[in-house]
Chain A
Amino acid sequence: DTEVTQTPKHLVMGMTNKKSLKCEQHMGHRAMYWYKQKAKKPPELMFVYSYEKLSINESVPSRFSPECPNSSLLNLHLHALQPEDSALYLCASSQEANEQFFGPGTRLTVL
């Protein structure tokens, strides 16, 4: 299984809502990533988990809260988001620093 799955595919939320994005992989990868991608821009790294520990936080606002419950799962908890947070949120996994496998993404709209 060389697939990274993400749910939901689409999410619309208000600025006062709390929601979570989910990511799963069963390739045994020990590095997992959250990226944010705006239209016509490259993926922008948010967080890196290595062996279930947060290893990189790219100064992301605290309204985004990552969680890695186990080696296969990665969540991104969202609270009090702003309209400018609307974007495609991509999860990826890799074995060490080798090729990254991306999920299909969650397209988030904040009203």
Chain B
Amino acid sequence: GQQVMQIPQYQHVQEGEDFTTYCNSSTTLSNIQWYKQRPGGHPVFLIQLVKSGEVKKQKRLTFQFGEAKKNSSLHITATQTTDVGTYFCAGLSNTGRRALTFGSGTRLQVQP
């Protein structure tokens, strides 16, 4: 079955440093979505990427979808303590199965 892996599992940064998490799927994706889950909270949608090679920005967050539609990345510039949480990518297979497969997640800790 489809597998979605993320690295790193955990990252601890100083406030102001940049952060990147990478997501790799074992199969080609129809789209990829990113979610953030704060400690004790629930996943909250950040963005969806659909096109090969797509790049989207949201303030300090930059999302990329690979040319082969099998990998993606999320980059945060100048982290803030409000960025703390676990970031999940979630891929939608292009086989027609209408369900997301969540990546393993990257937990971000930001030291003030």
Q: Which of B31, B33, B92, B102 contacts A43 (CB 8 A)?
A: B102
Q: Tell me what chain B mostly uses at the interface: helix, strand, loop, or mixed.
A: strand
Whether a CB of chain A sits under 8 angstroms from the CB of B73 is no
Q: What would 25 A/B residue contacts be, using CB atoms closer than 8 Å?
A: A40-B105, A41-B104, A42-B88, A42-B103, A42-B104, A42-B105, A43-B88, A44-B102, A45-B99, A45-B100, A45-B101, A48-B98, A50-B98, A56-B98, A56-B99, A90-B43, A96-B98, A97-B98, A97-B100, A98-B48, A100-B43, A100-B45, A101-B45, A103-B42, A105-B42
A-B contacts counted at CB < 8 A amount to 52
A97 to B97, CA, bound (A): 10
The residues of A that contact B107 with a CB separation of less than 8 Å are 40
- The CA-CA distance from A18 to B48 in the complex, in Å, is 38
Q: Is B52 an interface residue (CB 8 A)?
A: no
Q: How far is the CA of A55 from the CA of B99 in the complex (A)?
A: 10
Q: Which residues of chain A have a CB within 8 Å of any CB of chain B?
A: 31, 33, 40-45, 48, 50, 55-56, 90, 92, 96-105
Query: In the complex, which of the residues B31, B43, B102 contacts A97, with contact meaning CB atoms closer than 8 Å?
Result: B31
Interface residues on B, range: 20 to 34
Q: Are A102 and B43 in contact (CB under 8 A)?
A: yes
Min CB–CB distance B21 → chain A (angstroms): 13
**Which residues in B have some Cβ–Cβ distance to A below 8 Å?**
30-31, 33, 35, 41-45, 48, 88, 92, 97-105, 107
Closest Cβ neighbor of B48 among chain A residues = A99
Contacts of A40 in B (CB 8 A): 105, 107
A48 in complex: contacting residue of B45, B99, B101, CB < 8 Å: B99
What separation, in Å, do the CA atoms of A59 and B101 have in the docked complex?
A: 15
Query: How close is A94's CB to chain B, nearest CB, in angstroms?
Result: 9
**CB neighbours of B101 from chain A (8 A):** 45
Q: Which A-chain residue is minimally distant from B45 (CB atoms)? A: A99
CA distance A21 to B92 in the complex (A): 27
Nearest chain B CB to A21 CB, angstrom units: 14
In the bound complex, do residue A55 and residue B98 qualify as a contact, i.e. CB atoms below 8 Å apart? Answer: yes
B99 pairs with A104, CB closer than 8 A: no
